[in-house]
Amino acid sequence: MDWIPVADNLHQIKGTGLESWLKEQKKRQALLESLLQNYNEGRSMSFFCKTCTRMPIDQINEAIKEAKEKLILENVDTSDKKAKALKSIIKNLAFHDNINLD
């Protein structure tokens, strides 16, 4: 089943055009770099890579916004708790939309 993401990418390129697809990939890369810089407690790199590959960008941004609000309300500042909060929100959104992050 390793070929499925490749096939999905080819379908997206065919549908939107290479230039548009590449722009989206750059946005995904920047989003991943931000997640790793701000929420990675040392064990979440693979999870965030899968998230940025499989989830819609808007949904990831929604999860980040929700996590920031939650972290401010709960006055959380440790990397473990920040990562746990964001991962929980992402997992919930992915489950709701039937997105496999395993």
72 lies in a domain?
yes
pLDDT 10s digits, 88-97: 999 999 999 9
- Name the maximum alpha-carbon separation found in the chain: 46
Quote the domain boundaries for residue 11.
4-96
What is the structure's pLDDT at 9?
Answer: 83
102 lies in a domain?
no
> Under a CB-based contact definition with an 8 Å cutoff, are residues 74 and 26 in contact?
no
31 lies in a domain?
yes
50 lies in a domain?
yes
pLDDT 10s digits, 12-68: 899 999 999 999 999 999 999 999 999 999 899 999 999 999 999 999 999 999 999
57 lies in a domain?
yes
34 lies in a domain?
yes
The number of domains in the chain is 1
101 lies in a domain?
no
Who has greater pLDDT, 60 or 74?
A: 60
